[in-house]
Amino acid sequence: MDAVALINGQGSDERAWQGCDWLWQQPETGLHALCADAARIVVVAPHPDDEVLACGGLLSLAAADGLQSWVVAVTDGEACYPDEAWWTPHRLRDARRHELATAVSALGIGAERITHLGIADGGVAQREAALQRWLRRHLHKDDLVLAPWRFDGHPDHEAAGRAAWHAARAVGCARLEYPVWAWHWMDPAYAHIAWERPRLLDISAGRGAKQRAIAEFRTQTGDVEQLQSPPILPAHVLARFHRNHEVYLA
């Protein structure tokens, strides 16, 4: 099954995920244990919004605890609406950079903690080796790298995840993976086969900040003028990121 097929349609209903007892009965991991004494959290995000959808709660809690975070925006997500006359790639690039800055601000992170690499949206796999080299030059041994699950079902996510995994391994820093589109295409009944050791983080204290940050991505939720296409993040997708827990994969 190709990536487009994986992320089309309604996907797995959030009620089915809430009924996945195996997942939610996993022991919780506290923020300090999850971050493993890291001096800095580095979030590798293939598109602006992935870092907030998957890790917004953790980033908010970390900011409140005084832990420094750095967001690496691999692409600008400018190809999300290819058939739009008004929302051209150029306009989307500017809008999504602004949305990301305001979103991380809602989490307590300054816009100066964002690095935009400007790789073409949809073209991360073609630049995977270069991305890996760039990360190896900029990561530190005491970083915790958060990157997409390498089997997330979107080619940009998987390529960014692979590059981050190999770079973190080469540098010797801690790493965790986060799912985004896997919540859509995966059958909750088989999550125990795909995810051997999921780590649950209670983000109740940071959930409000995360929701405010998600709301900043108006181009993705459809809360903008002159958008004719269905939004990338409709209500049934956003429901998967309204939880009191985030899931990370070791």
Non-local (6+) Cβ contacts of 16 within 8 A are 188
Query: Domain ranges in the chain?
Result: 3-31+48-80+95-140+147-249
**Predicted local distance difference test score (pLDDT) of residue 7:** 72
Non-local (6+) Cβ contacts of 161 within 8 A are 44, 147, 148, 149, 150, 152, 177
Cα(245)–Cα(159) distance, integer angstroms: 26
**Predicted local distance difference test score (pLDDT) of residue 8:** 78
Top-level class of domain 3-31+48-80+95-140+147-249: alpha beta
Nearest-CA neighbor of 45 among 169, 178, 210?
178
Neighbouring CB atoms inside 10 A of 24's CB total 15
Q: How many residues does the chain have?
A: 250
DSSP secondary structure string for all residues of 177-197: EE-STHHHHS-GGGHHHH-SS
Contact 219, 46 (CB under 8 A): no
Residues with pLDDT less than 70, the chain: 1-6
Q: For residue range 195-240, what is the model confidence (pLDDT) as tens digits? A: 989 999 999 999 999 999 999 999 999 999 999 999 999 999 999 9
